[in-house]
Amino acid sequence: MASHVRAPLSLVSSPNRRETSDAELALALGAGEPWAVSEVWRRFAPMVLVMAERTLGSRADAEDIGQEVFYRVCALAASLRDPKSLRSFVYSVAIRVLKTALRYRRLRRWLSFHRPEALADLRHFTLDIEARDSLMKFYALLDRLSARDRLVFVLRRVESMTVDEIAKVMELSESTVKRSLLKTSERLSKWARQEPLFADLEERGLGRLT
């Protein structure tokens, strides 16, 4: 990922942003309209930042990824063949940036717990000490996965995307996505059985994560 310092994204407001379709926004962005830069950030940043934080386990890293994603989206917008597919395009760019981050930076961080309420909302249970320890171990296991398998897992199990949606944004076949999910489930289950704390994790219902 590039390390140079960037200026903040444009804060110019769109005159009719609530009425602007994704297709119209894509065309405006490709044409270099200043308001489109701000609007594409407003519309898609929450989606990208949440996905990045859940994948990387770090809010700070997610914010860096978010900036990288949207500068690339703005730079590549003119090459978008189907303006209606702007959302999928943003997802695809985010996936590529995340894959690069996972492959080359080899992030080995455990899930950040500075926002326990967000994590509790994700898995719908109270974060006591044992649960926190178990989840830390679980995300440590995720670090053993390849960048592709980890992203497929997060998109399916955390973002609740369908196999078809994952295949499109990651530019994979549906069969490849299914194989990745099956392989990841089997590997995580095997690794989990080797960790004593995961017996308790199963009792809590968190075993469904795999």
Q: Which domains does the chain have, with CATH numbers?
A: 17-104 (1.10.1740.10), 116-209 (1.10.10.10)
pLDDT band at 129 (very low <50, low <70, confident <90, very high): low
Amino acid letter, 17: R
What's the N-to-C CA distance of the chain in angstroms?
A: 30
CA distances 136 to 17, 50, 64, 72, Å, are: 41, 19, 23, 32
Q: Which two tokens stand for residue 46?
A: 């929450």
Beta carbons of 142 and 97 less than 8 angstroms apart? no
Mean per-residue pLDDT over the chain, rounded: 76
pTM check: above 0.75: no
Q: How far apart are CA 91 and CA 75, in angstroms?
A: 15
Give the model's pLDDT for residue 3. Answer: 43
Going by pLDDT thresholds of 50, 70 and 90, the confidence category of residue 173 is very high
Q: Residue 29 above 60 pLDDT?
A: yes
Q: What is the pLDDT of residue 57?
A: 76
* Closest by Cα among 117, 123, 72, 134 to 97: 72
Q: DSSP H helical segments within 82-154, as ranges?
A: 86-104, 116-123, 129-142, 147-153
Q: Look up tokens 């308790």; give the residue.
A: 200
Residue 36 burial (C-beta neighbours within 10 Å; 0-12, 13-18, 19+): buried
pLDDT of residue 113: 36
pLDDT band at 104 (very low <50, low <70, confident <90, very high): low
Residue 113: DSSP 8-state? -
User: How far is C-alpha 103 from the chain's CA centre?
Assistant: 15
